[in-house]
C-alpha cells in the first residue's frame, strides 16, 4: 500500500481522514489487525467473564452493605457482631467530653516508699535489686561452688563469693552492654595485650569472671527436682518474683499504661524458648509486660513458660487473661490501658470498666 500524506489545512483531506476513521471494520485492511500479540484479550476471555461474575457478586454485596450503612447513618451508630454493642460513627466533641467516673485518678503517679529517698544511681538500683536478692544469689551460688570445688586442684580457684563480688560481677555485665560487647569474646573485653577495656581487669580477673558465670545460681539445686514438677521457672522463680514485687512497690504508674509482648534474644537450651520470625531476634524468651506509657517504667511483667502443670503456677495464657492479671494491682485507680488487637476483646473491656479502668486498642472486625 502506497503511503498517503494528508494536509491538515486542506478541508478535503480532513474529510478523508474522518471517513477512514469512521469506516466499518469490514473495510479495514486485514493486515492491520492480523497480529495483535499480547494486546489481544481473546486468550483471557474466560478470565474476563469470571471477573464480571465476581464483580456482579461484589456489587450485590456492596449494595447490601450500602443499605446497612444507610441504616447506620440514620441511627448514628454501628452494631457490632454480637448484635448488641453499639459503635458511634463520630467521636463526641472534645469540649463536650467529661472525665468518666472510671477515669478519675485516685492514686497519684510517682515514686513511693523507700524510693523517695534514693538520691544516687546506686540507691535507685538497690530499690529494684535489694540486698535480700543479692544474698539469695550469694547463698545459692556458694552451695553450688561447694558441690564442685573438689574438682579443682587448688582451693583458691573455687573459693566462695560474697555480696560485694556479686555486685562487681553484675556491674561488669552492665559495662559490657554499655560498650556493646555482646558479640565480643571475654578475651577481647579483658585484652591481655592492652587492647581491651581497662575497667574489666581492674574489677576482677577474666579467670574469676568465667568461674562465676559458670557457677552462679538463683535457687537451691537440691530441691529443684521437686519444684520442677509443677513450675518450669523454678530455677529463677524466687528471684524473679522478688524483682517484680520491687517494681510494683517503688512506683505508682501514670494515668496511661500499655500492655505488650517482647522477645529478648536467647539461643540456649530452654523448654519454653520461642521462635517468632517477625521479631528482630527470632529465637528468645517471650515476656509480657505492663509499662507506664510516659515514664517507660516496667510496672508488672511475667515470663511465658508455656502450659504449666496443675499447681500454684498454672495460669491461663489467653491474651485477655494476661491483661487482667497485669491490671489487678491497678483496679479501682482510674487508669487507662492501651494494647494492640491481639489482646483486645469486648468482654475484657467490659470487665475492666467494672473495675474502674478504661481501655484503648485496635480490634479486629470479626471480634
Structural domain includes residue 8:
no
300 and 226 belong to one structural domain? yes
Segments forming the whole domain that contains residue 243: 222-361
pLDDT, residue 70, reads: 53
255-277 pLDDT, tens per residue? 999 999 988 888 888 888 888 88
Residue 362 pLDDT more than 90?
no
236 and 349 belong to one structural domain? yes
Helix, strand, coil share (%) of the chain residues, nearest 5: 45, 10, 40
Other beta carbons within 10 Å of 175: 15
226 and 191 belong to one structural domain? no
pLDDT, residue 367, reads: 63
139 and 257 belong to one structural domain? no
Of the two residues 61 and 232, the one the predictor is more confident about is 232
pLDDT, residue 302, reads: 92
Pairing of strands 358-361, 336-339: parallel
Structural domain includes residue 123:
no
234 and 355 belong to one structural domain? yes
Among 195, 217, 239, residue at a domain's last position: 217
209 and 237 belong to one structural domain? no
Residues 241-246 have a mean pLDDT of: 94
Residue 357 pLDDT more than 60?
yes
Structural domain includes residue 91:
no
356 and 242 belong to one structural domain? yes
User: Which of 324, 334, 336, 328 is CA-nearest to residue 256?
Assistant: 336
306 and 263 belong to one structural domain? yes
pLDDT band at residue 288 under the 50/70/90 scheme: very high
Of the two residues 34 and 149, the one the predictor is more confident about is 149
- The sign one gets for the Cα dihedral 145, 150, 151, 156 is positive
Three cell numbers written together for 142: 556458694
Residue 61 pLDDT more than 60?
no
Range with the poorest average pLDDT among 80-94, 107-121, 184-198, 233-247: 80-94
pLDDT, residue 71, reads: 52
228 and 206 belong to one structural domain? no
Residue 345 pLDDT more than 70?
yes
Range with the poorest average pLDDT among 52-66, 71-85, 111-125, 214-228: 52-66
Structural domain includes residue 169:
yes
Residues 201-224 have a mean pLDDT of: 91
With pLDDT > 90 as the criterion, what percentage of the chain qualifies?
Answer: 36
Residue 94 pLDDT more than 70?
no
CA-to-CA distance for 267 and 282, rounded, in angstroms? Answer: 9
Residues 172-178 have a mean pLDDT of: 91
pLDDT band at residue 180 under the 50/70/90 scheme: confident
Structural domain includes residue 64:
no
pLDDT, residue 323, reads: 93
Among 199, 217, 235, residue at a domain's last position: 217
Residues 67-93 have a mean pLDDT of: 68
Tell me if 233 sits within 8 A of 301, measured CB to CB.
no
Tell me if 355 sits within 8 A of 323, measured CB to CB.
no
265 and 205 belong to one structural domain? no
Structural domain includes residue 11:
no
198 and 299 belong to one structural domain? no
Residue 166 pLDDT more than 90?
yes
pLDDT, residue 141, reads: 95
Tally the domains of the chain. 2
Residue 24 pLDDT more than 70?
no
pLDDT band at residue 280 under the 50/70/90 scheme: confident
Among 182, 217, 252, residue at a domain's last position: 217
Residues 279-289 have a mean pLDDT of: 88
233 and 354 belong to one structural domain? yes
CA geometry: angle 249, 252, 254, nearest 5 deg? 160
Tell me if 302 sits within 8 A of 287, measured CB to CB.
yes
Torsion of CA 132, 134, 135, 137, to 10 degrees: 130
User: Which of 333, 324, 320, 331 is CA-nearest to residue 254?
Assistant: 333
Q: What is the CATH number of the domain that holds 231?
A: 3.30.420
pLDDT band at residue 31 under the 50/70/90 scheme: very low
Structural domain includes residue 105:
no
Tell me the backbone φ, ψ of residue 317, rounded to 5 degrees: -100, 15
Residue 170 pLDDT more than 50?
yes
Structural domain includes residue 192:
yes
pLDDT, residue 41, reads: 34
Going by C-beta distance under 8 Å and a sequence separation of 6 or more, which residues neighbour residue 126? 118
pLDDT, residue 366, reads: 65
Amino acid at each position: 500500500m502506497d503511503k498517503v500524506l494528508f494536509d491538515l489545512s486542506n478541508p478535503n483531506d480532513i474529510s478523508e481522514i474522518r471517513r477512514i476513521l469512521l469506516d466499518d471494520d469490514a473495510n479495514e485492511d486485514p493486515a492491520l489487525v492480523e497480529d495483535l500479540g499480547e494486546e489481544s484479550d481473546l486468550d483471557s476471555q474466560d478470565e474476563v467473564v469470571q471477573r464480571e461474575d465476581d464483580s456482579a457478586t461484589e456489587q450485590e454485596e456492596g449494595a447490601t452493605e450500602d443499605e446497612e450503612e444507610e441504616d447506620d447513618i440514620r441511627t448514628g451508630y454501628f452494631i457490632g457482631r454480637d448484635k448488641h454493642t453499639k459503635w458511634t460513627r463520630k467521636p463526641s466533641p472534645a469540649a463536650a467530653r467529661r472525665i468518666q467516673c472510671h477515669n478519675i485518678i485516685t492514686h497519684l503517679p510517682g515514686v513511693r516508699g523507700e524510693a523517695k529517698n534514693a538520691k544516687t544511681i546506686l540507691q535507685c538500683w538497690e530499690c529494684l535489686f535489694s540486698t535480700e536478692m543479692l544474698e539469695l544469689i550469694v547463698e545459692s551460688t556458694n552451695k553450688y561452688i561447694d558441690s564442685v570445688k573438689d574438682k579443682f586442684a587448688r582451693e583458691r580457684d573455687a573459693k566462695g563469693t560474697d555480696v560485694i563480688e556479686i555486685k562487681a560481677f553484675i556491674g561488669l555485665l552492665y559495662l559490657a552492654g554499655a560498650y556493646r560487647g555482646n558479640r565480643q569474646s571475654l578475651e577481647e573485653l579483658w585484652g591481655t595485650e592492652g587492647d581491651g577495656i581497662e575497667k574489666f581487669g581492674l574489677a576482677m580477673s577474666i579467670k574469676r569472671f568465667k568461674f562465676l558465670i559458670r557457677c552462679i545460681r538463683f535457687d537451691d539445686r537440691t530441691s529443684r527436682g521437686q519444684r520442677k514438677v509443677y513450675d518450669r521457672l523454678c530455677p529463677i522463680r524466687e528471684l524473679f518474683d522478688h524483682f517484680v514485687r520491687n517494681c510494683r512497690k517503688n512506683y505508682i504508674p501514670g494515668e496511661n499504661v500499655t500492655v505488650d509482648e517482647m522477645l529478648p534474644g536467647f539461643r540456649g537450651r530452654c523448654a519454653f524458648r520461642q521462635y517468632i520470625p517477625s521479631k528482630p531476634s527470632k529465637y528468645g524468651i517471650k515476656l509480657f509486660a505492663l509499662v507506664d506509657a510516659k515514664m517507660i517504667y516496667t510496672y508488672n511483667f511475667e515470663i511465658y513458660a508455656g502450659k504449666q502443670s496443675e499447681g500454684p503456677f498454672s495460669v491461663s495464657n489467653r491474651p485477655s487473661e494476661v491483661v487482667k492479671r497485669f491490671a489487678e494491682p491497678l483496679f479501682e485507680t482510674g487508669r487507662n490501658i492501651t494494647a494492640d488487637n491481639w489482646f483486645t476483646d469486648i468482654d475484657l473491656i467490659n470487665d475492666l470498666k467494672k473495675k474502674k479502668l478504661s481501655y484503648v486498642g485496635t480490634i479486629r472486625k470479626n471480634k
